[in-house]
Amino acid sequence: MPDAPFSSALVARLADARRVAVLTGAGVSAESGVPTFRDPDGIWARMRPEELASVDGFLANPDLVQAWYAHRRETVGRVTPNAGHDALARLEAAVEARGGTFLVATQNVDGLHQRAGSRSVVELHGSLARQFCIACGTDADGETDGTCVACGGRVRPGVVWFGEALPPEAWDAAENAASRADVFLTVGTSAVVYPAAGLPLVAKRAGAYVAEVNPVPSDIAGALDEVVVGTSGAVLPALVDAVEAVWAGGGTNSADGR
Ligand code: OAD
């Protein structure tokens, strides 16, 4: 069997970790068929973020923005979690069964981690599943016609747009997990949108072993302990298999000397 793309140090650190935290981005859903944002065929190559992901864009053309999010909702409704999501859910269950803690902080709004069985998930950029009134804040159900049933105000997608604050509870949980993690994985994110992109660096400064999984090293890769070059759907199942092999007493199957 060829060498794994990750180090034996990462496998050993994960096998010993009491606290594991993971940041995910659009790349983790790419193999499910959900487009990323900044890859050459990504959403922002075709669409304008200021029109579709800002309050001003929404107020200028609410019907266009609602139609685009309805299209994205429909896309994620058609797809299923992939091997990367499944591996993170498997790792969470195993770490927790051994008495540890595990958190996925995701920038994704697609709900695929939860559908794969991950239980400790915080959604840093909100969720496509939520819609709420811009006037009174009341949640709308999926059948909304775009008008709030409570006050008649406009209903908007429950996602975080450029210039908006992250949901405070989600952010606090993510930052807390990053600052306490023994191992921190940053998976499928270009790490250019802050504050989420700062979480791996928070973890690194606090002493975690920080590894990235991405076919293209991100902007922050140079500041991390390890960059595993590959897709999450290929790397994460192999990594979790390797950790489980250590727990089973079977040693590691990974590249030596790193
Ligand atoms: P990006 O589109 O910026 O980055 C996607 C990353 O996934 C890139 O680094 C790719 O190399 C990587 N990638 C692609 N395929 C992959 C695969 N199969 N496995 C692993 N990695 C893969 O997406 P995000 O970093 O999530 O915000 O973007 C952050 C935020 O910017 C999003 O949450 C969204 C966007 O504007 C809002 O809408 C507020």
Domains recognised in the chain with CATH numbers: 1-34+81-125+165-258 (3.40.50.1220), 35-78+129-159 (3.30.1600.10)
Question: For residue 3, what pLDDT is reported?
Answer: 72
pLDDT tens readout for residues 73-126:
999 999 999 999 999 999 999 999 999 999 999 999 999 999 999 999 999 999
Distance (Å, rounded) from C-alpha 209 to C-alpha 44?
32
Question: For residue 209, what pLDDT is reported?
Answer: 98
Q: How many angstroms separate the alpha carbon of residue 245 from the centre of ligand 1?
A: 30
Write the DSSP assignment of 212-227 as a string of letters.
EEESS--TTGGGSSEE
Question: 36 in ligand 1 pocket by Cβ < 6 Å?
Answer: yes
125 is catalytic: yes
| pTM of the predicted protein model | 0.95
CA distances to 51, 72, 90, 164 from 66, rounded to whole Å, are 11, 10, 35, 18
Distance (Å, rounded) from C-alpha 57 to C-alpha 14?
43
Distance (Å, rounded) from C-alpha 252 to C-alpha 76?
36
Write the DSSP assignment of 84-124 as a string of letters.
HHHHHHHHHHHHHHTT-EEEEEE---S-HHHHHT--SEEET
Question: 105 in ligand 1 pocket by Cβ < 6 Å?
Answer: no
